[in-house]
Structure 1
Amino acid sequence: MASCNTFATSTPNTTQFATKKAHQLVQQHILLDSHIDVPYRLEEKWEDVTKATGTGDFDYPRAKQGGLNAPFMSIYIPASLEKAGGAVRMADRLIDYVEAIVGRAPDKFAIATSVADVKAQFKQGLISLPMGMENGAPIDGKLANLTHFYQRGVRYITLAHSQSNHISDSSYDLRRQWKGLSPFGKTLVTAMNDIGMMIDISHVSDDAFYQVIELSNAPVIASHSSLRKFTPGFERNMDDAMIKALAKNGGVIQINFGSSFVSSPAQKWYEKKSKQEKALAKQFGKDSKEVSSFDEQYEKENPFPFAGLNIVLDHIDHVVKIAGIDHVGIGSDYDGVGDSLPEQLKDVASYPNLVQGLLNRGYSDADIVKILSGNFLRVWQQVESNAKQAVEK
């Protein structure tokens, strides 16, 4: 989840680029996107996403158009709630929203809590709604809460978000209080393995990542991350050594579509904007008119450098080059990165464009199916199997 900037841009027709074959591939196979921020979007403004909506990146008609049938609903918890309190209540409330979507349209959506659910619901023509928790703050230091949220349908936890919490250091937080995982975080990794909860290392510090890899007896995921090779110095993304370690673990990196995640110019645009805004706040005060008018003026003078489809494809290509085809997938961050999405990937109707790009670069149908869902489902299945074996021992 990121700040939702609104930029002046035209939304291209998402159907013009993709060929009939690209549309067939997304319609005939499971398409799993491991990170879509619909629940928090509904927290900010309720909309009935079972019908066409005027805003946002996701609704039922566009999902059907794009072939999306297994979007992980992100149970996003702001980092501020770690100290302020209320993380557990918010998580339960956002899960309620996902259940409400299914309750409004059980002929369109279904809660999915297993790989078997996703496959069965796909055959029934339903859109599966599995859930992942972005930020482990609602665990609140209690393994009983892990059980609670597993029972409510959550199947992965992003250990931290934009600030370090009681589980892990964050890549965004300069205060590395744990030098990786906290003692409880290390206990939690084992407990997540045992219960069958996927461990998501998006957002955590590099030290925390390597500690997770060392501790976990199941493959781990990066639910919505991209590559540091294309955004030098941006620790939120993964470097080549981390991707190789993730592959050795059997895990998968799900590529984030946000322009600042895939493109260095967009990343630098945000860095420059943040630096200038902080300087104004220091000089005039954070509630000053200079600060309140800054965003509009900055964006007018510095048009946002949107990424394009090709750079997203470059990220996928690079993972395949250094780690193999079995370790990359889709974690778009739709509804979580505001209006910063690349051209030709503006909403959930756009997946055929991504597939067309892969076809144009010579990917086989079988490899494209792995990227669409096969790799992630393999990891999820392995996490389920490991947990079952743990119970049987």
Structure 2
Amino acid sequence: MKTLAACLLSSAALIVAAPVSALAAPSAQAVEIAHKYVIVDGHVDAPSTVAEAGADIAAGEKTVDFDYARAKEGGLDAPFMSIYVAADYEEKGGAKARADILIGLMEGVAAQHPDKYEIAYSPKDVRRIFAEGKIALPLGMENGSPIEGDLANLKHFYDRGVRYVTLAHSKANHISDSSYDENKKWDGLSPFGFEVVRAMNDLGIMVDVSHLSDAAIEDALATSRAPVIASHSSLRHFTPDWERNLSDDLVKKIADNGGVVMINYGSSFLNEAANTYSAPRTAAREAEEKKLGRAMTEEEASAFGKAWLEAHPYPYATLEDVLNHIDRAVELAGIDHVGLGTDYDGVGDSLPVGLKDVSSYPVLVDGLLAREYDEASIEKILGANALRVWEEVEKARKKRKW
């Protein structure tokens, strides 16, 4: 829905229904582990699905990757609900109002289904809600545009439950440069962006560096006195030259900062073939339109897309790709600094084979077991690391006047 590659793929309607998982059903051991420990997912875009499609995530109607029944099946306990505000709100206005609407939708879901969901404002809340058998809904705001240049708005969003802010999204904003934007207007964070990071520390809001340019991540790390998170990023080692994923050096620096890197499940994040899939297709379409001497009609574009897909099947990532990212992140950062930020509901049809929705966490656990991760390490990856960072951010709070 929101990554550049996913936007290109979904907008052109070039990926057909995702292939059925070829993986065996998860083992009883994996299911037990997935339900024994708190699973925290750093990024799930269900609020946008609710807002745009009228999805009912309690009943499972019009949902995509996340709903209550599948989350319970998979053992998901604390998915951070992404309060996603598109980059264009920076210029057209209304960013704060859009964020408030999405927060209100999540509050409404929790109020209507108190037996299933509860907004979580702290790691203590998450653990209590888990013990009560419900699903915690912590909130993370994707894109700092709703702050609208006023730190009082940051306090407003903290009061409404936001516990991390992704400083920018697909375009540079008044806070930070973006990895997707060739215009690096600030060469990192803006002057106000430095103030925002310090204010987030004071409030106890996690600084999320996913989507940021390398220079902006460096600025955030140098400024924050609390650990930062990358709520839904994978490793650039596997997608060379793609700034949206993290370099080895930045993974190490996030670990040195005490933070956590949360692995994204989008195929374009996980393997180079998926990451570069769109470029030759776009070139072929442009060449065809040049021959025609005009742009394709909607029908022609659809036919072209279907033919291209038949000739060039989309290279979906696999469980092994996800595990490769986890292995390398652990090698670089250490077992205490790796987590999950799947981007369910946010990367369209590009999810890996066998990991197509929130019922699939036991499949990942089986993969980790096969790679000889012990149960204590799996617990950390599933959620303990994310909760530890959140607790450290809470401890770093500092009183200030707003």
TM norm structure 1:
0.95
CA distance in 2, matches of 1:96, 1:118: 20
Q: Which residue of 317, 322, 335 maps to 2:332?
A: 322
CA contact (8 A) 1:280 1:290 kept: no
With 48-57 and 335-344 compared, the bigger mean Cα shift is at 48-57
Distance in 2 of aligned mates of 1:294 and 1:196: 50
* Cα deviation, residue 12, structure 1: 2.3
Cα distance in 1, alignment partners of residues 114 and 97 from structure 2: 25
Report the AA paired with residue 87 of structure 1: A
Partner of 1:333: 343
Alpha-carbon distance in 2 for matches of 1:252, 1:274 = 35
What do you get for the CA RMSD once the two structures are aligned? 1.9
- Look up the match of 1:215: 223
How has the CA–CA distance of structure 1 residues 8 and 196 changed in structure 2, closer, same or farther, with 3 Å as cutoff? Answer: same
**Match of residue 34 from structure 1:** 42
**Per-residue deviation, 1:284:** 2.9
> How far 1:17 moved relative to its partner?
3.3
Cross-structure match for 2:159: 151
Partner of 1:188: 196
Mapped to 1, the partners of 2:328 and 2:273 lie a distance apart of 19
Instruction: Tell me the alpha carbon deviations over residues 168-201 of structure 1, each in whole angstroms, 9 at most, x when there is no partner.
Output: 1100100111001111111111011111110000
| Corresponding letter in the other structure for 2:50 | L
Match of 1:369 in 2: 379
Whole-Å Cα distance in 2 between the matches of residues 354 and 288 of structure 1? 39
Pick from 4, 7, 13: which aligns with 2:16?
7
CA distance 1:217–1:147, shift in 2 (3 Å): same
Q: Partners in 1 of 2:256 and 2:216 — Cα distance?
A: 17
Match of 1:353 among 354, 363, 373: 363
Q: Select 2:274's aligned residue among 266, 275, 289.
A: 266
Give the equivalent residue in structure 2 for 1:307: 317
Indicate if the aligned counterparts of 1:107 and 1:126 stay in contact, CA closer than 8 A. yes
Alpha carbons of structure 1 residues 288 and 53: separation in structure 2 relative to 1, 3 Å: closer
Matched, 1:51 2:47: no
What is the alpha-carbon distance in structure 2 between the residues aligned to residue 83 and residue 275 of structure 1? 30
Gaps of 5+ in 2: none
The percent identity for this pair of structures is 50
Q: How does 1:75-94 map to 2 (within 5 A)?
A: 75-94=83-102
Letter in 2 for 1:350: S
CA contact (8 A) 1:7 1:340 kept: no
Aligned residue identity for 1:364:
D
Partner in structure 1 of residue 390 of structure 2: 380
Shift in Å at residue 109 of structure 1? 0.5
State yes or no: 1:102 paired with 2:102: no
C-alpha spacing 1:104/1:359, structure 2 compared with 1 (3 Å): same
Match of 1:127 among 114, 135, 138: 135
* CA deviation map 1:56-113 (0-9, x unaligned): 0011000000000100000011111111111111111111111121122100100001
Shift of 1:44: 1.4
- Contact 1:281 / 1:291 at 8 angstroms: preserved in 2? no
1:82 is paired with a residue whose SS is: helix
What SS does structure 1 have at the residue aligned with 2:140? strand
Secondary structure at 2:26's aligned position in 1? coil
Deviation at 1:42, TM superposition (A): 1.3
Given the superposition, is the C-alpha separation of residues 281 and 208 from structure 1 closer, same or farther in structure 2, using an over 3 Å criterion? farther
Specify whether residues 314 and 91 from structure 1 end up closer, same or farther in structure 2 by C-alpha distance, changes over 3 A only.
same
How far residue 7 of structure 1 moved from its aligned partner, in angstroms, is 2.1
1:99 aligned partner, one-letter code: E
With normalisation by structure 2, the TM-score equals: 0.93
